[in-house]
Each structure stands twice: as structure tokens, then as C-alpha cells.
Amino acid sequence: MATYTYDDTFIVDSVSLEELGAAEAKAIEEVQKLNIADPLYVEEMVKARVYATLAMRQLENDGMGDKYAAYNKEFDRLYRLAVNSSPSNLGVVPLARG
């Protein structure tokens, strides 16, 4: 059973709930190893990885190659944002004196 809601029915409708759950468990494990603290980034990264994994398994279907590439790119983008969107970055903003 999946933890998150997956809206890309083009990918998800072609797999069983067990396969979806297994892909999600693997994606959660992978994202946890990256030490991302923000739950919103975690969720979106897990979903992007699940979509990419399931698209890779269906590459013979039209459009899956494009979806695979797009979701891998989205995962990388989210990772960069999660790493660079730290509250510690607030200290580098110059403050104006009034």
C-alpha cells in the first residue's frame, strides 16, 4: 500500500498496488539516505523517484522514455532545492540599517 497519492495515472494505472508499494518503499529509503529534513521535499522527491522507476519498467510504451527523463530531471531539481533551501542561508542576507 502506498503512503503518498500518485496522480500520474498514465504511469500508475499500469502497475499493481504491490509494485507501486515496493517502488515507493525503495524510493523512501533512497531519499532518507540523502538526509533531507523538509517533509514537502521528501514527499515530492519520493514521488518523482517512484514515477521514474515505474516509467523505466514500461519503456516499451509510447511516451515512457520522455516521462522517465522528465521525472529524473525533476528529482535532481528537487534535490538541489532541498539542499540549498536551508534556514542557515538566511544569515548571508545583508540587513539595511534604518
Summarised one tens digit per residue, pLDDT across range 40-66 is 999 999 999 999 999 999 888 888 899
pTM above 0.85, yes or no: no
Q: Is 24 within the bounds of a domain?
A: yes
Q: Is 23 within the bounds of a domain?
A: yes
Q: Is 3 within the bounds of a domain?
A: no
Band (pLDDT 50/70/90 cuts) for residue 86 is low
Domain count, the chain: 1
Q: Is 74 within the bounds of a domain?
A: yes
- Which one, of 54, 69, 64, lies nearest residue 19 by Cα? 54
Q: Is 9 within the bounds of a domain?
A: no
Note down the domain range covering 63.
16-85
Using a pLDDT cut of 70, give the percent of the chain over it: 86
91 has a pLDDT exceeding 50: no
Q: Is 28 within the bounds of a domain?
A: yes
Dihedral angle sign, alpha carbons of residues 11, 17, 25, 28: positive
Q: Is 98 within the bounds of a domain?
A: no
